[in-house]
Amino acid sequence: MSPARSTASGPSATGHVVDDDTTGVPSFEASGGDWSTIAEEAARLGEERIVVNMGPQHPSTHGVLRLMLEIDGETVTEARAGIGYLHTGIEKNMEFRTWTQGVTFCTRMDYVAPLFQEAAYCLAVEKLLGITDDVPERATTIRVLLMELNRITSHLVCLATGGNELGATTIMTVGFTAREELLKVLELITGLRMNHAFIRPGGVAQDLPAGAVGEVRAALRSVRTYVRQLEDLMLANPILKLRTQGVGYLGLAGCMALAITGPVLRSTGLPYDVRKANPYCGYETYDFDVPVRSEADSWSRIGLRMEEIHQSARIVEQACDRLEAMGPGPVMVADKKVAWPAQLALGTDGMGNSAEHIREIMGTSMEALIHHFKLVTEGFRVPAGQVFQTVEHPRGELGVHLVSDGGTRPYRAHFRDPSFNNLQAVSVMCEGGQVADVVVSVASLDPVLGGVDR
Reported as a single tens digit per residue, the pLDDT across 332-359 is 888 888 887 666 665 555 556 667 767 7
Q: What band does 56 get if pLDDT is binned at 50, 70 and 90?
A: confident
pLDDT of residue 9: 37
Query: Is the model's pLDDT at 424 over the cut of 50?
Result: yes
DSSP 308-372: HHHHHHHHHHHHHHHHHHH-S---B-S-TTTS----EEEETTEEEE-HHHHHIIIII-HHHHHHH
Q: What band does 39 get if pLDDT is binned at 50, 70 and 90?
A: low
Query: Is the model's pLDDT at 362 over the cut of 90?
Result: no
pLDDT of residue 14: 41
184 CB-near residues (< 8 Å, 6+ apart): 215, 219
**Which sign, positive or negative, has the C-alpha torsion 368, 374, 377, 379?**
negative
Output 346 or 291, whichever has higher pLDDT.
291
Lowest mean pLDDT among 62-66, 100-104, 319-323: 62-66
Lowest mean pLDDT among 248-252, 315-319, 360-364: 360-364
Lowest mean pLDDT among 53-62, 93-102, 341-350, 356-365: 341-350
3 state SS of 221: helix
Mean pLDDT for the stretch of residues 24-31: 55
pLDDT of residue 366: 76
CATH homologous superfamily, domain 90-338+380-453: Cytochrome-c3 Hydrogenase, chain B (1.10.645.10)
Q: What band does 411 get if pLDDT is binned at 50, 70 and 90?
A: very high
Query: Is the model's pLDDT at 1 over the cut of 50?
Result: no
Q: What band does 69 get if pLDDT is binned at 50, 70 and 90?
A: confident
Sheet with 27-30, edge to edge strand ranges: 5-8, 27-30, 15-18
Phi, psi of 121, rounded to the nearest 5 degrees: -65, -45
Output 55 or 277, whichever has higher pLDDT.
277
Output 237 or 143, whichever has higher pLDDT.
143
Query: Is the model's pLDDT at 225 over the cut of 70?
Result: yes
pLDDT of residue 248: 87
* Residue 371 to residue 200: CA distance in whole angstroms: 18
Mean pLDDT for the stretch of residues 188-207: 89
Mean pLDDT for the stretch of residues 81-108: 90
Q: Percentage of the chain surpassing pLDDT 70? A: 85
Q: Do 321 and 144 form a contact (C-beta atoms < 8 A)?
A: no
Mean pLDDT for the stretch of residues 189-213: 89
Q: Percentage of the chain surpassing pLDDT 90? A: 46
Query: Is the model's pLDDT at 8 over the cut of 50?
Result: no
Output 350 or 212, whichever has higher pLDDT.
212
Q: Do 123 and 143 form a contact (C-beta atoms < 8 A)?
A: no
Mean pLDDT for the stretch of residues 107-112: 90
pLDDT of residue 70: 87
Phi, psi of 158, rounded to the nearest 5 degrees: -60, -50
pLDDT of residue 12: 37
Query: Is the model's pLDDT at 418 over the cut of 70?
Result: yes
pLDDT of residue 7: 40
pLDDT of residue 192: 86
Query: Is the model's pLDDT at 360 over the cut of 80?
Result: no
pLDDT of residue 32: 54
pLDDT of residue 42: 65
Mean pLDDT for the stretch of residues 105-134: 92
Please report, for the chain, the start and end positions of each structural domain, with discontinuous segments joined by +. Answer: 5-72, 90-338+380-453, 339-376
Output 412 or 73, whichever has higher pLDDT.
412
pLDDT of residue 168: 84
